[in-house]
Amino acid sequence: MSTLAPIKITGNTRVYAIIADPVAQVRTPEVLNEYFRTRGIDAVLVPIHVAPDGLESVLAGFRHMKNMGGFVVTVPHKTAVARLCDELGPAGRVIGSVNAVRRTADGRFVGDMFDGAGFVTGLRAQGHDPKGLRILLVGAGGAASAIAFALAQAGVAALTISNRTRAKAQAVAAMVKQSFPLAIVQTGEPDPKGYDLVVNATSLGMKPSDPLPIDTERLEPATVVAEIIMKPEVTALLAKAIEKGCVVHHGRHMLDEQVRLMTGFMLASE
């Protein structure tokens, strides 16, 4: 049992948020509030459910909250929030989306993207170094773009990007190739056969009624199957992969490895 005191919120407590639509599935409040508590940081992070049509209004309010230090961004707001930031960090500029925003003392927003670095670090922490692997990445949104960039940076042998809208997959592939001209990056179908690692970087799996993002009947036991979804911890995809004898990599590993990166970024102005 922990001997640490519970979080005590006072008038001096720094406020952080995570914005999402929906928001019930996020694990970030649990992870970051524990991070604050164990390090004696007088801060609290709260979940805020924001629909796309209310995003600009909510962020306008954040600018006027003088005790707000920043906010975490997740589905479906990562690209939209990047456009609303006053300044972007290196990954955010290249990818065009953000998942953490620091609010400066004068109400400016500085955003950057840590999904890719967190995902790759999480893979390595679990013994799955992506260097030299053949990888299928499903999805072409903000998180998928960041992961594609980080995987190419990590030196994968080949990366195939699959998305229901082929043009979006092609755009992500072009973005990666611009930064890594020698990387083998292509678009393709969500067929996992022949890959060392398959990554679901879509939101498919958050709801029980969601279709599977890949044809799981084509999975091979030697393939590692990775998720970025936090809840449920075992998605339908991971359950099918386990049935096929695959090693699986849970979505929580990406978040766990991002904590230090995101908090360091958002606390930088403190």
Catalytic positions, written as ranges: 78
Most distant CA pair in the chain, distance:
56
In this structure, what token pair is assigned to residue 126? 């679990």
Exposure on the CB side of residue 129, measured as CA atoms within 13 A: 4
Sheet holding 158-162, edge to edge: 185-187, 158-162, 134-138, 197-200, 224-227, 247-249
Amino acid identity, position 158: A
Which are the contacts of 174, defined by CB distance < 8 A and separation ≥ 6?
A: none
Q: 142-153 and 166-179 helices cross at what angle (nearest 10)?
A: 40
List b or e across 40-68, with b for residues whose CB sees 16 or more CB atoms inside 10 angstroms. Answer: ebebbbebeebeeeebeebbeebbeeeeb
